[in-house]
């Protein structure tokens, strides 16, 4: 097991009592403490670039198991037993390998956990993963599903000790990847910190939402969180308001940056005069929010479905926003658009300009991270407009052209 760097906790001189740790999402420096204290373990050294402001990027191991079907964790059957029961093939990931579209793979993760009793976690696809319509789900041994949690998405129980696995389904494109690829990020939470209330959001001193020109903050529209709406009017520098994934496209090599010709994979959609868009069932779209949002340095944010009862429609399943997103280090960035991954399932869905499709829930950090989301740490989408994932040539982006990693 190995690590590369971290922030060692100083000894307390003349006082045997340690100051109580604050509840909330753990910042980067506390993630390094978990690494240094061997609460996060790995047989390959953990790289500095893996630790983000409020999460750690998990790396895929050396083999992928293609299985017949997805499955839920169980206390009565180990994950390895389920893989043995459902396995169709083993794919060697020590060299680039093709994962077919629509196939279900279970891949062991290089990292494993031995968490303290008061720390659990939540995982979600990284932003780039979501923009490629790659579904990922973190699976733990004996995991308990369908219970209430402080954070959304898959949960790592408090005090979890054991291996980690990622279920991977590329729903639109065939993809090429290999061991070490980072598809999923895991964040840790101490205690049970509640999300910011609507009243608290309205009283935030820093602006949470900005006008298109970014010159002044706009009034945040709250109601069960900060409400997010769709831009179908082309409010940015480009008239393009959506990308629609093409069917039967070539494979996307996840290790490449700025290489693939977007025109081979995506149809562009200009702002319709009606300011309406009908989503075709089964197709995948990239759209942007009307709002430019900001996440101050002592908060993180998470996108959730506005109306969970609409089961035929899903939006933004890679919906975690690091501290500093659309904010910078001292509020110098005046908000950033949220890029939304949108899909209609069995029936067509009508979207209208300004329609609310999601809610942004703000969660308190245990403390301010020692590094924030932004270009200084190679973040991909700090000042994005409507942007595709980093694998595509930047000429097709409505936004900056940084070669980055998030």
More confident of the two residues 155 and 214: 155
pLDDT of residue 237: 60
- Secondary structure class of 20 (helix, strand, coil): coil
**Whole-model pTM?**
0.86
pLDDT of residue 149: 43
Whether 395 has a pLDDT exceeding 90, the answer reads: no
Whether 63 has a pLDDT exceeding 70, the answer reads: yes
pLDDT of residue 376: 56
Whether 147 has a pLDDT exceeding 90, the answer reads: no
What value does the mean pLDDT take over residues 361-375? 89
What value does the mean pLDDT take over residues 157-168? 95
More confident of the two residues 380 and 70: 70
Q: Confidence band (pLDDT; 50, 70, 90) for 219?
A: confident
- The pLDDT > 90 percentage for the chain reads 56
H or E element in which residue 86 lies: helix 79-86
Of 213, 217, 194, residue with least CA distance to 204: 217
| Class (C level, CATH) for 198-396 | mainly beta
Q: How many CA atoms lie within 13 A of 276 on its CB side?
A: 5
Give the contacts of 143 (CB within 8 A, at least 6 positions apart). 73, 154, 155, 156, 157
Q: Which of 146-160, 255-269, 347-361 has the highest mean pLDDT?
A: 255-269
pLDDT of residue 401: 29
What value does the mean pLDDT take over residues 374-383? 56
More confident of the two residues 73 and 135: 135
DSSP codes, 223-286 = SSSEEEEB--S--SSSSEEEEEEPTT---EETT-SS-B-GGGTEEEEEPPTT-EEEEPTT-EEE
Whether 204 has a pLDDT exceeding 70, the answer reads: yes
Options 3.40.50.720, 2.70.40.10, 3.20.20.140, 3.30.420.80; which CATH number does 24-190 get? 2.70.40.10
pLDDT of residue 400: 31
Whether 75 has a pLDDT exceeding 50, the answer reads: yes
Whether 262 has a pLDDT exceeding 90, the answer reads: yes
CATH 2.70.40.10 residue ranges of the chain are 24-190, 198-396
pLDDT of residue 36: 97
More confident of the two residues 328 and 98: 98
What value does the mean pLDDT take over residues 31-43? 96
More confident of the two residues 391 and 77: 391
pLDDT of residue 5: 54
What value does the mean pLDDT take over residues 330-354? 88
Rounded to whole angstroms, how far apart are CA atoms 229 and 171?
A: 25
Q: Confidence band (pLDDT; 50, 70, 90) for 345?
A: confident
Q: Confidence band (pLDDT; 50, 70, 90) for 405?
A: very low
């Amino acid at each position: 097991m190995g690590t590369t760097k971290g922030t060692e906790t100083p000894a307390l001189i003349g006082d045997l009592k340690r100051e109580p740790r604050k509840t909330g999402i753990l910042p980067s420096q506390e993630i390094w403490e978990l690494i240094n204290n061997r609460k996060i373990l790995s047989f390959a050294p953990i790289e500095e670039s893996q630790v983000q402001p409020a999460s750690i990027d998990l790396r895929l191991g050396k083999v992928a198991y293609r299985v017949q079907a997805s499955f839920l964790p169980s206390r009565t059957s180990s994950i390895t037993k389920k893989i043995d029961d459902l396995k169709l093939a083993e794919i060697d990931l020590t060299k680039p390998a093709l994962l077919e579209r629509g196939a279900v793979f279970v891949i062991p993760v290089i990292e494993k956990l031995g968490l303290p009793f008061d720390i659990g976690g939540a995982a979600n696809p990284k932003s780039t993963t979501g923009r490629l319509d790659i579904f990922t789900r973190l699976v733990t041994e004996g995991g308990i599903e369908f219970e209430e949690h402080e954070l959304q998405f898959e949960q790592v129980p408090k005090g979890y000790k054991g291996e980690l696995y990622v279920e991977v389904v590329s729903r639109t494109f065939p993809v090429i990847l290999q061991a070490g690829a980072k598809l999923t990020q895991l964040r840790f939470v101490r205690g049970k910190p509640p999300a910011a209330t609507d009243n608290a959001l309205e009283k935030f001193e820093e602006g949470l939402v900005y006008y298109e020109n970014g010159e002044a903050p706009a009034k945040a529209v709250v109601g069960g969180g900060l409400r997010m709406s769709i831009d179908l009017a082309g409010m940015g520098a480009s008239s393009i308001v959506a990308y629609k994934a093409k069917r039967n496209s070539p494979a996307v090599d996840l290790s490449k940056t700025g290489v693939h010709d977007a025109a081979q994979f995506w149809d562009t959609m200009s702002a319709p005069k009606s300011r309406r868009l009908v989503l075709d069932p089964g197709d995948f779209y990239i759209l942007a929010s009307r709002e430019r949002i900001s996440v101050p340095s002592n908060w993180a944010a998470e996108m959730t479905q506005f109306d969970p009862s609409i089961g035929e429609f899903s939006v933004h399943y890679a919906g975690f926003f690091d501290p500093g997103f659309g904010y910078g280090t001292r509020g110098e960035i005046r908000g950033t658009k949220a890029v939304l991954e949108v899909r209609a399932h069995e029936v067509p869905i009508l979207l209208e300009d300004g329609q609310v499709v999601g809610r942004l829930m703000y969660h308190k950090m245990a403390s301010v991270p020692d590094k924030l989301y932004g270009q200084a740490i190679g973040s991909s989408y700090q000042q994005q407009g409507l942007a595709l994932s980093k694998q595509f040539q930047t000429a097709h982006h409505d936004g900056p052209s940084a070669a980055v990693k998030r």
